[in-house]
Chain A
Amino acid sequence: MPQIFKRPTSLKDVQTHFCSGCHHGTIHRLVAEAMDEFGVQGRAIGIASVGCSVFLYSYFDIDVVEAPHGRAPAVATGVKRARPGSFVFTYQGDGDLAAIGTSEIIHAANRGEDITVIFVNNTTYGMTGGQMAPTTMVGQRTSTSPYGRMKEKDGAPLRMAELLAQLEGVSFSARVAVNSPRNLMDAKKQIKTAFRYQVEGKGFSFIEALSACPTNWGMKPLQANERVGTELCDYFRLGVYKNIMEL
Chain B
Amino acid sequence: MTKRLFVKGNEAVAMAAIEAGCRYYFGYPITPQSDIPEYMSAELPRLGGEFIQAESEIAAVNMLLGASATGVRAMTSSSGPGISLKQEGISYMAGSELPGVIVDIARSGPGLGGIDASQADYFQAVKGGGHGGYHIIVLAPASVQEMYDLTMLAFDLADIYRMPAMILSDSVIGQMKEALIPNRRPEAELPSKEWAVRGKGEGDQRIVKSLYLGDGELEAHNWKLHNRYCELKEKECRWEAFRTEDADLLVTAFGSCARIAKTAIMLAREEGLKVGLLRPVTLFPFPAAAYEELTSRCKKILDIELNAGQMIEDVRLSVSPDTEVFFYGRPPGTGSLPTPEELLEQIRKHY
> Would you list 30 pairs from A and B whose C-beta atoms are within 8 A, ordered by A residue?
A42-B201, A61-B200, A62-B205, A63-B199, A63-B200, A63-B206, A63-B207, A64-B197, A65-B65, A65-B66, A65-B208, A66-B96, A66-B207, A67-B62, A68-B92, A71-B59, A71-B62, A74-B59, A75-B66, A75-B69, A76-B66, A77-B52, A78-B26, A78-B66, A81-B52, A82-B50, A82-B67, A83-B70, A103-B55, A104-B62
Interface 0/1 of A102-143, CB less than 8 Å to B: 011011000100000000000000000000000000000000
Contacts of A52 in B (CB 8 A): none
Q: Is A54 an interface residue (CB 8 A)?
A: yes
Instruction: Say whether B67 contacts A66, CB under 8 Å.
Output: no
Contacts of A86 in B (CB 8 A): 70, 198-199
Q: Is B225 an interface residue (CB 8 A)?
A: no
Contacts of B60 in A (CB 8 A): 74
Known contacts: A64-B207, A74-B58. The answer to whether A79 contacts B67 by CB under 8 A is yes
Instruction: Say whether A57 contacts B207, CB under 8 Å.
Output: yes
Query: What's the nearest-Cβ distance from chain A to residue B205, in Å?
Result: 6
Q: Is A91 an interface residue (CB 8 A)?
A: no
Contacts of B58 in A (CB 8 A): 71, 74, 103-104
Q: Is B134 an interface residue (CB 8 A)?
A: no
Interface 0/1 of A61-101, CB less than 8 Å to B: 11111111001001111111111001100000000000000
Query: What's the nearest-Cβ distance from chain A to residue B64, in Å?
Result: 6
Complex interface residues of chain B between 209 and 226 (CB less than 8 A to chain A): 209-211
Interface 0/1 of B30-46, CB less than 8 Å to A: 00000000000000000
Q: Is B54 an interface residue (CB 8 A)?
A: yes
Known contacts: A62-B205, A63-B206, A64-B207. The answer to whether A79 contacts B59 by CB under 8 A is no
Q: Is B72 an interface residue (CB 8 A)?
A: yes
Query: What's the nearest-Cβ distance from chain B to residue A111, in Å?
Result: 8
User: How many Å lie between the Cα of A103 and that of B211 in the bound state?
Assistant: 24
Instruction: Say whether A71 contacts B198, CB under 8 Å.
Output: no
User: How many Å lie between the Cα of A79 and that of B88 in the bound state?
Assistant: 18
Residue of B nearest to A107 (CB): B55
Q: Is B244 an interface residue (CB 8 A)?
A: no
Residue of B nearest to A85 (CB): B199
Q: Chain B CB within 10 Å — which of A43, A48, A74 has the most? A: A74
Interface 0/1 of A133-174, CB less than 8 Å to B: 000000000000000000000000000000000000000000
| Interface size of A as a range | 35 or more
Instruction: Say whether A65 contacts B72, CB under 8 Å.
Output: no
Q: Is B29 an interface residue (CB 8 A)?
A: no
Contacts of A75 in B (CB 8 A): 62-63, 65-66, 69
Residue of B nearest to A84 (CB): B50
Instruction: Say whether B197 contacts A65, CB under 8 Å.
Output: yes
Contacts of A82 in B (CB 8 A): 24, 50, 66-67, 70, 72, 74
List 8 additional contacts besides A68-B88, A81-B52; criterion CB under 8 Å: A42-B199, A45-B197, A54-B211, A68-B89, A74-B58, A77-B59, A78-B26, A103-B55
Picked from A61, A62, A79, A103, the residue with its CB within 8 Å of the CB of B66 is A79
Instruction: Say whether B55 contacts A47, CB under 8 Å.
Output: no
Instruction: Say whether A77 contacts B66, CB under 8 Å.
Output: yes
Picked from A43, A57, A78, A103, the residue with its CB within 8 Å of the CB of B56 is A103
Complex interface residues of chain B between 85 and 116 (CB less than 8 A to chain A): 88-89, 92, 96
| Interface size of B as a range | 35 or more
Query: What's the nearest-Cβ distance from chain B to residue A103, in Å?
Result: 6
Known contacts: A63-B197, A63-B198. The answer to whether A107 contacts B54 by CB under 8 A is yes
Query: What's the nearest-Cβ distance from chain A to residue B201, in Å?
Result: 5
Query: What's the nearest-Cβ distance from chain A to residue B296, in Å?
Result: 45
Instruction: Say whether B65 contacts A78, CB under 8 Å.
Output: yes
Contacts of B54 in A (CB 8 A): 74, 107
Q: Is B202 an interface residue (CB 8 A)?
A: yes
Q: Is A44 an interface residue (CB 8 A)?
A: yes
Residue of A nearest to B207 (CB): A57
Query: What's the nearest-Cβ distance from chain B to residue A107, in Å?
Result: 4
Instruction: Say whether A66 contacts B210, CB under 8 Å.
Output: yes
Residue of A nearest to B100 (CB): A78
Contacts of A78 in B (CB 8 A): 24, 26, 62-70, 74
Known contacts: A42-B202, A62-B205, A82-B24. The answer to whether A67 contacts B65 by CB under 8 A is yes
Interface 0/1 of B128-164, CB less than 8 Å to A: 0000000000000000000000000000000000000
Query: What's the nearest-Cβ distance from chain A to residue B62, in Å?
Result: 4
Contacts of A80 in B (CB 8 A): 66
Residue of B nearest to A58 (CB): B207
User: How many Å lie between the Cα of A99 and that of B144 in the bound state?
Assistant: 42
Contacts of A225 in B (CB 8 A): none
Instruction: Say whether B69 contacts A62, CB under 8 Å.
Output: no
User: How many Å lie between the Cα of A76 and that of B52 in the bound state?
Assistant: 13
Picked from B26, B69, B205, B211, the residue with its CB within 8 Å of the CB of A79 is B69
Q: Is A41 an interface residue (CB 8 A)?
A: yes
